[in-house]
Structure 1
Amino acid sequence: MPDVPALVDVAWLADRLDSDVRVVDVTTFLTQPEGDGYYDVESGREAYEKGHVPGAVFADLLADFADTDAATTFTALDSDTFAQRLGALGIGNDDHVVLYDQGVNIWATRFWWNLRLEGFDRISILNGGFTAWREAGQPVTSGVETLPATTFVAKRRPELLADVAQVRAAIDDDSRVLVNSLDEATYKGERQTYARPGRIPGSSHVFFGTLLDESGRLRDAEEVRGTFKAAGALDVDKKPITYCGSGIAATTLAFTLAQLGRDDVAVYDGSMTEWAADETLPLEVG
């Protein structure tokens, strides 16, 4: 892993705004209709234009950094397209990127995973995101900011991405451990958020919300080591595959696990949106 901090606070970033760090706002909004049902997603571009960290550019995870032709909403782009769009955003292979969003960091960890998938590791996440920035009384800028376009060369790490065939095989593979990051009711099948209720058979459970403190900031990884150990995700003889609804919250687990020495975690990109929609794939409840 690179010699850059995984998590940074507001003071750290404020001291470096005039340096060569590349700050990227990846705000996306996820809302759920009253009661159970599919989540709605919305680009955070308008919110970014209303206010953002000075110097930050905006990466649209919904429109620009996902395959909009895929069956699921946030499917990772192919490497060439990702590289072209990241370069156009002004990010090169030698840059140090600082990510934040205007929520609880799950979008920041999603782009962290996107970047790592394509071989880039010089990434920090602003803990607490834009909320922490504003609460600290730091300056806010409106409008759109850009960086000069550059070249990014992707070097995909396919082992960090799991597809439906790999997840299906993992159910009966003792060298793999599936970890569901959704809330307990959805994990147990008591709430139907996707096409069918339940979880992928054999999955352990680490709700991504347990990785956050009362203020919405990511906890120190050591605080939640025991949770991951209980889930089997720190077993050296097993490779973790994390999943959620659409491959977003699952990246928060991958991010925390990387700080605990597991930088080999794969994310099931299609997650429950893809799995539950295919009635030939098994689910378990309870």
Structure 2
Amino acid sequence: MTHHRLFGRLVPVELAAAIVLTAAACFSFVGHAHASDVPGPLVDVDWLKTNLDQPDLVVIDTRGEADGSDPYAEGHIPGAVHAPYPGGWRATRDGVPGQLPELSALEKHIGSLGISGDETVVIVPAASSSSEFSGATRIYWTLKLAGLEHLAILNGGYRVWNADPSTTLATDKPEIVAADFKAQLRPGLLVSSDDVRSHLDDGSTVLLDGRPAEQFKGKDKHPAAKRFGHLPGAVNLDQSVFFDPATGKIVPQTVAASLLPEAAAQSKAEVVSYCNTGHWASMNWFILSEVLGHNNVTLYDDSMVGWTENPDNPVESERSRLDDIKAWWNGNG
């Protein structure tokens, strides 16, 4: 199982062509001022209010239905398009859930939101929890992988917009003119299982596990994972530490930097961010790559669910026979 599955079934020539197109697209942006250039990977309510009427701005509301209610229909940022997560952002492939869709499906989904490639896109989650906010970081990573340049997340999400008395809400759906979006792929933003295997013994790559400590140790696991534990030599950094549940916001940059394990703190460190299915891993990727500006951070989309599909792939675990007995006793064995 390799990740270049994402690109449909691109052969090496096609992949090379995608890289060339990406480079050409990057050069094409030079010298063109963007009407609503984002100040960074996170924007606040004031910035979004100021730029909301810009013609090149696309606001994506990622909130999905919950408990029979439709929060988007009940109220959303004026002009925001609805693209709930995971929705068309993820797919089950080769039996592994939560994977990137085939390239054609991903292009169609992005284009259906009226995105052609040069827009400024602001992603708005509910910001109800770190895991929910990770849906926004995953979408951000996906769009960047597909070649978009002007991206941001509303820090605090819908909850800070709704709490601001100076903002307004809409209940109507905006008219969307679908675009013919063609990805300008950045394959350097993700790694395959083969890539991970090559890093196991090189001693220079940090394998950063974004899951809770109990899963990292092998005391618990994702239901779809075949084995307990973590990638050999991995370092644990639970992504939830970067989210402030009291405000719905990402912690300040200085705080985020202080939370990094020593191995990942160096800006030039090569880091592979992973979790179970690449969801939580996107938060750690976002903090390191986008918030802190580290240059050598990639995401392992298959993560532990995909990795454990292959019985020959090694794992490390602190799980004991007693843990197995406890799980059996509790009906989870």
Q: Give the partner amino acid of 1:130.
A: Y
1:119 aligned partner: 147
Matched, 1:26 2:55: no
What does residue 254 of structure 1 align with? 285
Within the candidate set 245, 252, 271, 1:220 is matched to 252
Mark the runs of 5 or more structure 1 residues left unpaired by the alignment. Answer: 30-41
Query: Are 2:298 and 1:266 aligned?
Result: yes
In structure 2, what is the Cα distance between the partners aligned to 1:164 and 1:69?
14
What is the rounded CA distance, in whole Å, between the counterparts of 2:92 and 2:216 in structure 1? 27
Distance 1:235 1:18 in 2: 37
Give 1:129 deviation, angstroms: 0.7
Separation of aligned partners in 1, 2:276 and 2:45: 30
CA distance in 1, matches of 2:153, 2:234: 28
Q: TM-score when scaled to structure 2?
A: 0.74
Aligned to 1:97: 121
Q: Which moved more, 1:136-145 or 1:150-159?
A: 136-145
Q: Distance in 2 between matches of 1:51 and 1:173?
A: 51
Do residues 14 (structure 1) and 49 (structure 2) align?
Answer: yes
Percent identity reads: 30
For residues 142 and 10 of structure 1, what CA distance do their matches in structure 2 show?
19
The answer on 1:174 being equivalent to 2:210 is: no
Shift of 1:285: 2.1
Mean alpha-carbon deviation: is it higher for 131-140 or for 253-262?
131-140
Q: 2:106 pairs with 61, 79, 82, which one?
A: 82
Which residue of structure 1 lines up, in the alignment, with residue 312 of structure 2? 280
Aligned 1:161-200 pairs, distance under 5 A: 161-194=190-223, 195=225, 196-200=227-231
Larger Rg: 2
Name the one with the larger helix percent.
Answer: 2
Quick check: 1:51–1:142 contact (8 Å CA) kept in 2? yes
- Quote the residue 1:39 is aligned against: none
The alignment's TM-score, normalised by the length of structure 1, stands at 0.85
The verdict on how the C-alpha distance between 1:283 and 1:68 changes in structure 2, with shifts beyond 3 A counting, is: closer
CA-based RMSD of the aligned residues comes to 2.6
Instruction: Give 1:174 shift.
Output: 2.2
SS in 2 for 1:115: helix
Task: Tell me which of 60, 64, 68 is aligned to 2:88.
Answer: 64
Cα distance between partner residues in 1 of 2:259 and 2:310: 30
Asked if the contact 1:27–1:102 (Cα under 8 Å) also holds between the matched residues in 2, the reply is: yes
Cα drift, residue 106 of structure 1: 0.8
Structure 2 segments unaligned to the other structure (5+ residues): 1-25, 30-36, 319-333
Q: Aligned partners of 1:130 and 1:8: how far apart in 2?
A: 12
